Amino acid sequence: MAEIEAEQQKPKKRLSLSGLFLPLLIGATISIIVVFFVVGYISLTEPPPLPEDIHSLMNKKQQEAAATPADNSTENAQEMVVNEDGTFDFAQYRYFSFPLPFVVNFADGNGMMTVEIAIATYETTLRGERLIEKLTTFTPKMRSAINLVLAEQIHDEVNTVAKRKALEKRLLATIKPLIDGTNPERPSGITDLYFTKFVISNTR
C-alpha cells in the first residue's frame, strides 16, 4: 500500500511543476511587454524642446563671435544677417575685375609692365552688390591711384613673386581708403587684390 501511494504522489509533483512553469513564463512575457510599452510611451510623449526664436539665435551667434579670438584673415569668417522675411543671408566672395589692363613704364626706363588686376570682396548679398556697384563707379579713381603706384616701380622691385605679393598688398592699402573712406564705421568688405596677369617686356 505504501509503495502504491508513493507512486501516485510522484506524478502529482511533476504535474504541479509543469503547471507552475507555464504561468510564470506567461507572466514574465507580459511584464516585459508592459515595461517596453511604458518606456516607449514616456519617450514618445515627452514634449520636444521649444525652438529658439530668431533673436536668441542671433544673440547666441554674437556671443560665440565675441568669445572667439579675432582673426585677421576672412577665409573662415562667416558673417550672417537676417533679412526682413526672416531668411538668413551669409557673406560670400565676389570679384571685381578691371576691364582694361594697366600698361606702365618702369620708373628707371628699363622696360614696361602689363598688369591685369582683380579685387576680392566678402560681404552679404545686399552689401556685396552695393560694394561691386561702388567699385564700378570708382573705377577711374582707382585706376589713377594704381597707375601712380605702378609708375613708381622699377624692374628690380617686381622681378620676384615675393616682391609682386608685396606690391599687391601696397595697392590694396591704396584702394581701400578710396572706397571705404579714411574712417570707416565697419571693417572693409574689400579683402584682397590679385594680379591675374603680370607681364614684363622691353627690358635691357
Q: Is residue 191 part of a domain?
A: yes
* CA–CA dist 13, 21 (Å, integer): 13
**DSSP category for residue 139:** H
Instruction: Yes or no: say if 153 and 108 are a contact pair by the CB < 8 Å rule.
Output: no
d(CA 188, CA 182): 11
Domain count, the chain: 1
User: How far does Cα 35 stand from its chain's mean position?
Assistant: 46
Is the separation of the CB atoms in 147 and 111 below 8 Å? no
- For the residues 25-34, what does the mean pLDDT come to? 87
Residue 163 forms part of a structural domain: yes
pTM: 0.59
pLDDT at 28: 85
The CATH number of the domain holding residue 197 is 3.30.479.30
Whether residue 5 lies inside any domain: the answer is no
Q: Which residues pair with 96 in a beta bridge?
A: 119
The pLDDT-based confidence of 148 (bands split at 50, 70, 90) is very high
**138 is a domain residue:** yes
Structural domain boundaries enclosing 196: 77-201
Residues 6+ apart with CB under 8 A from 112: 103, 104, 105, 106, 200, 201, 202
pLDDT band at 71 (very low <50, low <70, confident <90, very high): very low
| Beta bridge partners of residue 114, listed in sequence order | 103, 199
The values of phi and psi at residue 67, to 5°, are -75, -25
Compute the average pLDDT of residues 164-174.
96
Answer yes or no: is pLDDT of 45 > 90.
Answer: no
User: For residue 8, is it within any domain?
Assistant: no
For residue 120, the cross-strand partners are: 95, 192
Is 71 part of any domain? Answer: no
Q: Which of 44-58, 72-86, 101-115 has the lowest mean pLDDT?
A: 72-86
Render pLDDT for 109-140 as a digit per residue (tens, 0 to 9).
Answer: 889 999 999 999 999 888 899 999 999 999 99
What is the predicted pLDDT for the residue at 48? 56
What residue has cell string 627690358? 203
Gap between the Cα atoms of 104 and 145, Å rounded: 13
111 domain residue, yes or no = yes
Query: Is residue 144 a part of any domain in this protein?
Result: yes
Q: What is the pLDDT of residue 19?
A: 66
